Structure 1
Amino acid sequence: MEATRFTALAREAWDEAAPIHWRHTQRLVTAFEDPQTSFVTATHAAELARAGLEGAEVAQLNCNNGRELISMTRLGARRGVGFDISAAFVDQARRLAEAADAPCTFEATDVYEIPARHDGRFDLVVVTSGALCFMPDLDAYVRVATRLLKPEGRLNIYDCHPIVDMLELDRDRDRGDRPVAFVRSYFDKSPLPHRSGLDYVGGSTYDAKEIYYFHYTLEDIMTAVLGAGLRLETFKETGEDPSHAYPSIEASEIKPPLSFMLTARAA
């Protein structure tokens, strides 16, 4: 299966990146000792509260080092379970949860293979920036999220707006006063290979294991959500950049949408 090949490559690439990230993010062990530390933006926190975060059992898909899920428990979630393909990042998440004394557990698994014992368990399933772009089968991904939900449970997605896939990254050059460059068609669906590394924290590059990015339009995302039988509750586009990859565009008064947020309810 083609999706399995892509996710196997992703597991190797993320495990390779984990110690590089940890050099920058191990400081979060100390940061999480402060009960006020949170990595959920105010915009996202407001929507999670509306969606029923208080007292909820929450799953986060592609949770990385768990900092957002840990933060959700500080915002009122009763319990969090994070799923990520990289065992190395799951280990980091467990260390951060211990430092934060957070009611979170983490499992290393391909999201497409999350065990059936979790089906119907969660009040809220959350997907954040940097998740969808690594998933080779969007429809199957949303179906997994849907099967994890309790009846009337909600899926919340807060991710980079698909339009940013057209743009040259701010960090790729000193843009100065030059206009934003479009480097890819919005409608180009071909998987994009990447071998310069995943150190978006420190900004370094290295001869990395190959990984692929996948571009989905808003139409693709909406169709996947509705096709899974979910009912759309809220949708908004924002000027926030959750990826921190486009700082000069985010700071500009004239800008495209940089992120979107939707919440949909299960039957």
Structure 2
Amino acid sequence: MTDDDWLRHNRANWDDRVRVHARSDFYDLPGFRGGACTLRGFELDELGDVSGKRLVHLQCHMGQDTLSWARRGAANVTGLDFSEAAIRTARGLADDLGLAERARFVAADVYDAAQALGGERFDVVYTGLGALCWLPDIPRWADVVAGLLNDGGVLYLAEFHPFTEVLGDDGKSVEVDYFDDQGTTWDEPETYTDGPPLAHTVSVQWQHPLGDVVTALARAGLRIEFLHEHATTLFQRYPVLERTGPAENPTFRFPHGHPRLPLMYSVRAAKW
């Protein structure tokens, strides 16, 4: 599959997902308009105060996390996503929330971010959960991140741990090669939220070992400040996981007595 093929399939798939996601209970846009924050507690703690900072969110989807950072005090936020449909939804949310003067949304592929944003630099580059599996070339992504940062700026990345892709659906058996770096083509009739079936069902995803991500950032000239691995995740990835945390913002973890495994990770890296 050529670059044009995988990008075309993924863009059509995500344009179609927006149609479903914007109406889903999972994304709950009415609740977000009413004041809900979509950022996870550990993200707020680890990135810290963003007051007065310029932040860019790569692969922002419908912009809820982007706008949540604006609500947390970021002076200006920019969201970038390759889906025109997602960007239209994000702009509508910004208008609804009265944040349009502080929030900009740009439709572009993440690898073209420097050109799409006119060479602008930022204090924070943020990338949220479920983003990196859609990118085939992590060193190229890391170079894009480094090029977007001001001196002294930071990348904050939160992601699902690649080890979760090794386990079978039961969450107990090892079934997949952790170091498989070939893209996988999926044909799935539905997205991960509630809602109707998709019309564009084909997508291509890549698995990136944790060492590859950290090494790519270091080689791009960023200094790793921390790498944290988390024993919780945001959804019931396996039937054995138990729900924990507050009802409005639950997390899931292996039950007491079961060996703990890493389910998410987060990285903060600085440019000097």
TM-score normalised per structure 2: 0.85
Q: Does 1:15 align with 2:51?
A: no
Q: How many residues align?
A: 256
Change in 2 beyond 3 A, CA 1:243/1:3: farther
How is 1:61-72 mapped onto 2 (pairs within 5 angstroms)?
Answer: 61-72=58-69
By how many angstroms is 1:266 displaced?
0.8
Q: Which residue of 1 aligns with 2:108?
A: 109
Q: In the alignment, what sits opposite 1:157?
A: 157
Cα distance in 1 for residues equivalent to 2:152 and 2:206: 30
Q: Do the aligned partners of residues 207 and 96 (structure 1) sit closer, same or farther apart at CA in structure 2, a change above 3 Å counting?
A: closer
What are structure 1's unaligned runs of at least 5 residues? 170-174
Higher percent of residues as helix: 1
Q: Does 1:263 find its partner at 2:255?
A: no
Q: CA deviation at 1:141?
A: 0.9
Structure 2 residue 85 is the aligned partner of structure 1 residue 88: yes
Q: Deviations over 1:101-137 (max 9, x none)?
A: 2321111111111243443521000111111000011
Distance 1:251 1:180 in 2: 13
1:251 to 231, 235, 253: 253
- Note closer, same or farther for the CA distance 1:237–1:195 as it changes in structure 2 (3 Å cut): same
Cα RMSD for the two superposed structures: 2.3
Aligned to 1:30: 30
Look up the equivalent residue of 2:207 and give its one-letter code. Answer: H
- 1 CA distance for matches of 2:135 and 2:229? 22
In the alignment, residue 199 of structure 1 is paired with which amino acid?
T
Deviation at 1:6, TM superposition (A): 2.3
Which of 206, 212, 224 is the equivalent residue of 1:232?
224
SS in 1 for 2:268: strand
1:200 corresponds to? 192
CA contact (8 A) 2:167 2:173 kept: yes
Q: TM-score, normalized by length of structure 1?
A: 0.87
Match of 2:142 in 1: 142
1:114 is paired with a residue of what secondary structure?
A: helix
Q: Is residue 90–residue 106 contact of structure 1 (8 Å, CA) maintained in 2?
A: yes
How much does 1:81 deviate?
A: 0.3
Unaligned stretches of 5+ residues in structure 2: 242-251
Q: Please give the alpha-carbon distance, in whole angstroms, between the structure 1 residues aligned to 2:55 and 2:190.
A: 27
Partner residue, 1:122: 122
Contact kept in structure 2, 1:129 and 1:243, CA below 8 Å: no
Bigger CA drift: 6-15 or 104-113? Answer: 6-15
Aligned mates of 1:257, 1:29 — CA distance in 2: 30
Classify the secondary structure of the residue corresponding to 2:141: helix
Q: Percent of aligned positions with the same letter in both sequences? A: 27
Find the partner of 2:178 among 183, 186, 194: 186
